[in-house]
Amino acid sequence: MNSFRQRIGQPPARDDDGPLLPRKGNGQSRFDDLTSVSIKRSANRGGNTRGGDRHRLKAEQVVLVTHDQCEHVADLINVSQGGAMIRCDLALELWQPVMLDFGDGGLVECAVRWLRADRAGLEFTAETQFGCDPAMRDSILLSTIRKSFPQHAVRDIDVGQSSTGGTHKRRRAGGETRVAKRHPLIWSGSIHYEHDTHQVRLRNISETGAMIDCGIGLPVDAGLLLDLGAAGQLFSFVSWSRGGQAGLIFEEPYDVARLADARPEVAGPPSWTAPDYLRKTPPPSSPWVDHWMPASLDELSEELEGFIKR
């Protein structure tokens, strides 16, 4: 009895002269050793199941909006940090600008970068896009240049106001006030979620929500705090999340003009040399060449100030 009590909690005794592993028998299994049962594979591996796209999405759809404002439903195959792959039966052209609508707060402009059968590769535009009227956007851009990049400012006049107090706007043929070239500014911030902080990039923003590039998956309906620094903090809820991109709905309306209080980054040229089929500059024969040429801060400031002068 005493020897039994002494063995409780101790490893079983081992015969030092015996083998470390038991010898295989003649196909007879022991009830106390599962490793002695030999299970043969009944079928060979049919293919490499590890080589697929781990981020591939299934049963997802998005709305593709073309330049003529026509909407088309497309299958969303996958989403990455810089773009998306879709499947649709629409005849697209290389470098054609399209809008990709993920849902709440998820409208982002893209360029068609490659085409193959019924699939298309779309690249998200670099700059932060505004979900407001063009006059408000131009006001934010000019105020941002004056506050964060004063060396590029042309003159010190309130946006949209003349020296006599009147309002001057240059209108295009369609009655839309707009700068001719793209702006190169990218706003960033951070999200505070689950006792952690993640840096994010603003893809677009409006008074009701935003689309962010966060690089992580966020659960739908999760509450978080979007911190834009001097531009404010917004309590938000996740409306959708795919491939590191997420749509946020603000708890309260946001004054988009506050973005001018935060210093954005200026989009620069890529740090790597792209192959011929992925050049940032569209081919000369493309009808969309002018659309994708961003303005420098000097050019943007001069053009925005031109609205005021006229």
Angle (nearest 5°) at CA 117 between 116 and 122: 45
pLDDT number for residue 40: 47
Model pLDDT, residue 47: 40
pLDDT in tens, the chain (310 residues): 555 445 444 555 555 555 555 565 555 544 444 344 444 444 444 443 333 333 444 448 889 999 888 999 999 998 888 899 999 999 999 889 999 998 776 788 999 999 999 999 999 988 999 999 999 999 999 999 999 999 988 654 444 444 344 444 443 333 444 454 688 999 999 999 998 999 999 999 999 999 999 988 899 999 999 999 999 999 999 999 988 899 999 999 999 999 999 999 998 765 445 556 556 566 666 666 667 777 888 888 888 876 555 5
Per-residue model confidence (pLDDT) at position 6: 53
Distance CA 204, CA 224 (A): 18
Provide the whole-model pTM: 0.68
pLDDT at 307: 58
- Residue pair 100/61 in contact (Cβ under 8 Å)? The answer is no
Angle at 170 between CA 167 and CA 176, to 5 degrees: 105
Task: Specify which residues 198 forms β-bridges with.
Answer: 191
